Structure 1
Amino acid sequence: MARTGTGRAGGAGGSGGSGVRAARRPEVRLPELEPYDGGELEPDGDYDGLDFRDADFAGQDGGGARFMDCALTACALDETRLYRARILDSVLTAPRGVGTDLAESTLRDVELTDARLGGVQLHGAALERVLIRGGKIDCLNLRRARLKDVVFEGCVLVEPDFGGAELTRVEFVDCALRAADLSAATLRDVDLRGAAPLEIARGIDRLSGAVISTGQLLDLAPVLAAEAGIRVE
């Protein structure tokens, strides 16, 4: 069962003294788990209290499945279909894969650690009290997703797409954010001060509702000037 923390204040990427509300982090406490039997995932399957270890789910279909109080460790998720899946009170450690389909899924009270993923589809998904720590995720698709109390910590995000997404109490802590797309996104209490580098490819005008550092402001000045139509010579 997951217990919810109150978030971290202060420090790089923290929210102390900034007027921005800190994200509430998940604190997952798993029960004693049973080893998974090694079978293939099933659409609309129900997985409760299971330990998935070194499982290869490449190309399998678990659309609509529910994972509750589960641990997934070193699992392969290449082209795995988890459309509209629900992942609740669970821990995912060192998942790897390309093209994982988690569109319109629900992640609540989830810890994702040391991921090596590319082209993950999370468009239209709902993430609440989620900690993504370490690892690297390329081309993360979060278009029109809803993120509430989400922390990206010590990870590398390359070309993440937040187009049209709603971000509420989201923190980037010691995190590299490269070529991010914020087009049409809505930000509320988003702390970007711990993002280094902070690179906004599109949607620089959507930063209202976010807090950045003075150094980041200077780095973004050319993009902000271009957006405002200011010519700098």
Structure 2
Amino acid sequence: MPRELTDLPFADLLEPAGAIAREGEYDCLRFDDAVLTAPDAAHTVFDQCAFRSVQVDGGSLRGARFTEAWLHGVRITGTDLADAAWMDAEVVEGAWSGVEASGTELRRVEFHNCKLDSVNFRGAALTKVRFVDCVLRHVDFGGATLNEVDFAGSEISALMVRDARLTKVDFRGRRHCASPKGSPPCAVRSSPRTNCSTSPRRSPRPSDCWSNRSRAATISAARG
């Protein structure tokens, strides 16, 4: 279950935040109902911060660090988040569209009821990350490392995993892709170079992870 703002262990310490500056350091601040247009906030540090109903359009948060951050209803569009670091963070009812997140490190991060569309996670490292009841469309994990990642209740389409390393990645709880009536459900397709282990409890079934001869790897509608 995603947490509410009042559930956060640092909720009583949060203070209203002002503007965000490049390479700034922010600790125990609350960002509410803000619109950030083309922010120049590369290498900014957010430690135990809360974001609620914030919209970020374009700009750069490249190399930013989010530690114990809580984001609720945050929309990020066309923003550079490459090489950012997320640790012990929670993203609830968010929307990421056209986000550049290559080289990002995510450790113990949960996404709840989020929509990720055309997000680039190439070369990223995800450890103990959960996508719960999310929608992922045209998300690229090419060359990324995914360890203990699950997609419970999530809808997935056109997920790219070319040359990715997948260990203990569980797609079993995902929902079928949204597709025209009569189309077959999604299936996992990965290149021979992809290490795909869907669960530590058993070997993957073909419906969880199948290899084809193509180097390109996608999650797409299975052909009969």
TM-score (norm 1): 0.77
Aligned to 1:96: 75
Letter in 2 for 1:139: S
1:30 to 1, 5, 10: 10
Aligned to 2:148: 169
Query: Which aligned pairs between 1:64-143 and structure 2 lie closer than 5 A?
Result: 64-143=43-122
- Assess, with a 3 A threshold, how the Cα gap between structure 1 residues 104 and 226 changes in structure 2: closer, same or farther: closer
**Equivalents in 2 of 1:125, 1:86: separation in Å?**
10
Q: CA deviation at 1:117?
A: 1.9
Q: CA deviation at 1:200?
A: 5.9
Q: SS in structure 1 opposite 2:151?
A: strand
Letter in 2 for 1:164: G
The range that moved more, 27-36 or 177-186, is: 27-36
Q: SS in structure 1 opposite 2:167?
A: strand
Q: SS in structure 2 opposite 1:173?
A: coil
Q: CA deviation at 1:30?
A: 2.4
Structure that is richer in helix per residue:
1
Q: SS in structure 2 opposite 1:197?
A: coil
2:190 to 203, 216, 220: 203
Which protein has greater RCO, CA pairs closer than 8 Å, 6+ apart?
A: 1
The range that moved more, 162-171 or 91-100, is: 91-100
TM-score (norm 2): 0.80
Query: Which aligned pairs between 1:8-47 and structure 2 lie closer than 5 A?
Result: 29-32=9-12, 33-37=14-18, 39=19, 41-47=20-26
Q: CA deviation at 1:168?
A: 0.6
1:60 to 39, 50, 53: 39
- Assess, with a 3 A threshold, how the Cα gap between structure 1 residues 36 and 196 changes in structure 2: closer, same or farther: same
Q: CA deviation at 1:220?
A: 7.6
Q: SS in structure 2 opposite 1:57?
A: strand
Aligned to 1:7: none
8 Å contact 1:103–1:121 — kept in the other structure? yes
Q: CA deviation at 1:225?
A: 6.2
Q: CA deviation at 1:90?
A: 1.0
Letter in 2 for 1:210: T
Q: CA deviation at 1:192?
A: 0.9
Q: CA deviation at 1:126?
A: 0.5
8 Å contact 1:139–1:158 — kept in the other structure? yes
Q: CA deviation at 1:31?
A: 3.7
Superposed CA RMSD in Å reads 2.8
- Assess, with a 3 A threshold, how the Cα gap between structure 1 residues 99 and 225 changes in structure 2: closer, same or farther: closer
8 Å contact 1:179–1:200 — kept in the other structure? no
Q: SS in structure 1 opposite 2:157?
A: strand
Gaps of 5+ in 2: 1-6, 178-185, 215-222
Identity %: 31
Aligned to 1:146: 125
**Equivalents in 1 of 2:209, 2:81: separation in Å?**
32
Please list the CA deviations of residues 66-119 of structure 1 after superposition, one character each: whole Å capped at 9, or x if unmatched. 000100011111103100000001100111131121100000000001112201
Q: SS in structure 2 opposite 1:77?
A: strand
- Assess, with a 3 A threshold, how the Cα gap between structure 1 residues 96 and 103 changes in structure 2: closer, same or farther: same
- Assess, with a 3 A threshold, how the Cα gap between structure 1 residues 192 and 218 changes in structure 2: closer, same or farther: closer
**Equivalents in 2 of 1:220, 1:184: separation in Å?**
14
